[in-house]
Structure 1
Amino acid sequence: MNFGEALTASNLSYLFEGFLVTLQVAGLAIVFSFITGIILAVIRYAKIPVLSQLVAVWVDTIRNLPLLLILFFIYFALPEVGIDMSVITAAVVGLTVFEGALISEIVRSGLNSIDKGQIEAARSSGLSYTRTLWHIILPQALRRMVPPTVSQFIALLKDTSLAVVITLPELMHHARILYGGQSNIVIEVLFIVAMMYFIVNYTLSLIARRFEAKYV
């Protein structure tokens, strides 16, 4: 193992630069996909006429498409109809579309797990359906879905590496450039990359466990 050549200041700085892009894209996609997932799930849970059916078709369609296809479509196909995005924006939008559909199913399962009697009790006490959903049902559902949601966020962070196909300058993109120019440090570079992913993902897992133990 040749860690001496791999762990130079310039190599580590270059990998860290890519990792910051990974964290930036993942962070934005996590926020936007979570908001998107909640909105889609609430629409389906509330059974809003027509809109619920349209959302169901959208979610089922996106869930059955590969993320790579969505990234290709957003970055290469949309510019053909005048919708041009930077590579970072395209990556965030692609991840948000894909992960938002997956998270919506997690949120919907959490909503469906709440006893319907709570809705009836809240409505009989004078609360509107919207306030009942916002103040009583959704908070309980969010607590119950912490583990699967964090697992999905971890998957999202790892999925950012797929955006290398649209030349996103993230961690794996920089790693490939490094070991492409220095073929004798392939294993070492990939080991460093693996440790970077592991540290962030394991930290997320620990946070999820503490949250689960406290609130669930």
Structure 2
Amino acid sequence: MDFKGAYTTANLKFLLEGFYVTLEVAFIAIAISFVIGCVTGTLRYAKVPVLSQALAFEVELIRNLPLLLIIFFTRFALPEVGINLGTLYSSIVALAVFEAAMISEVVRSGLNSVDKGQIEAARSSGLNGARTLWHIVLPQGLRRMVPPLVSQFISLLKDTSLAVGIALPELMHNANIVVGHNYNSAIPILMVVAVMYFVVNYILSLVSRRLENRMA
């Protein structure tokens, strides 16, 4: 193991550049997928005629496809029909689409977990469907959504490494390049990569616990 050769200033800077790309892709994809997933999950919960069934089909289709296939599709298939997003935006779109499908199920399950008796009581007291959803269902469902939502965000952050397949210069891509120049640095470099992933994911888990405690 060549720790001295692995931990040069140039190598560490190169890894940090890749880590920045990883965080950039992850957090943009998280923001997009959260919005789309919440809207999709809520519409499915509301059982809007036709639209709900169409969204259910779309969600099940995406959830049962490998993420790597979706990444390859956005990068190599879309340009064939005139949509060339480039490596960075192809990664963001693929991750956001895949994660939105997962989040929509978390949202739908969280809303469905609210006791039906409370919904019936709200409706009988004069609240319409929209106000019941906003004042009764969402506040309670949100408490149950926090842990699985954060788990999905953590998964998305780790899944950015799959974009190495389309040469996105993220953390694992840059780590592979460093190791390729010096195979004896594999363990030291991968240790740094593991620490970087762990720190961010651990912070997300701490935020999740704090949110849970506040909502309890």
Instruction: Read off the aligned partner of 2:23 and give its amino acid letter.
Output: L
Matches within 5 A, 1:152-163: 152-163=152-163
Matches within 5 A, 1:24-103: 24-103=24-103
CA distance in 1, matches of 2:109, 2:22: 29
Query: Which residue of structure 2 aligns with residue 202 of structure 1?
Result: 202
State the shift of 1:117 in Å: 2.5
CA distance in 2, matches of 1:142, 1:24: 26
Structure 1 stretches lacking a partner, 5+ long: none
Structure 2 stretches lacking a partner, 5+ long: none
State the shift of 1:77 in Å: 0.3
Query: Which residue of structure 1 aligns with residue 171 of structure 2?
Result: 171
Q: Are 2:201 and 1:183 aligned? A: no
Q: Which stretch of the first structure deviates more once superposed, 135-144 or 105-114?
A: 135-144
State the shift of 1:63 in Å: 0.6
CA distance in 2, matches of 1:30, 1:100: 8
Q: TM-score scaled by structure 2?
A: 0.96
Q: How many residues align?
A: 216
SS at match of 2:139: helix
Residue identity (%): 63
State the shift of 1:9 in Å: 1.2
CA distance in 2, matches of 1:142, 1:5: 48
**Structure 1 stretches of 4+ moved >4 Å:** none
Q: TM-score scaled by structure 1?
A: 0.96
Q: Which stretch of the first structure deviates more once superposed, 126-135 or 159-168?
A: 126-135
State the shift of 1:115 in Å: 1.3
CA distance in 2, matches of 1:66, 1:146: 25
Q: Which stretch of the first structure deviates more once superposed, 116-125 or 89-98?
A: 116-125
State the shift of 1:156 in Å: 0.5
State the shift of 1:12 in Å: 0.7
CA distance in 1, matches of 2:89, 2:45: 30
Query: Which residue of structure 2 aligns with residue 122 of structure 1?
Result: 122
SS at match of 2:168: coil
Q: CA deviation digits over 1:52-110, x for unaligned, max 9?
A: 00011111111100000101111100110111102111111101111111111111110
Instruction: Read off the aligned partner of 1:123 and give its amino acid letter.
Output: R
CA distance in 2, matches of 1:211, 1:40: 23
Q: CA deviation digits over 1:165-201, x for unaligned, max 9?
A: 1111100010011111122211111111011001111
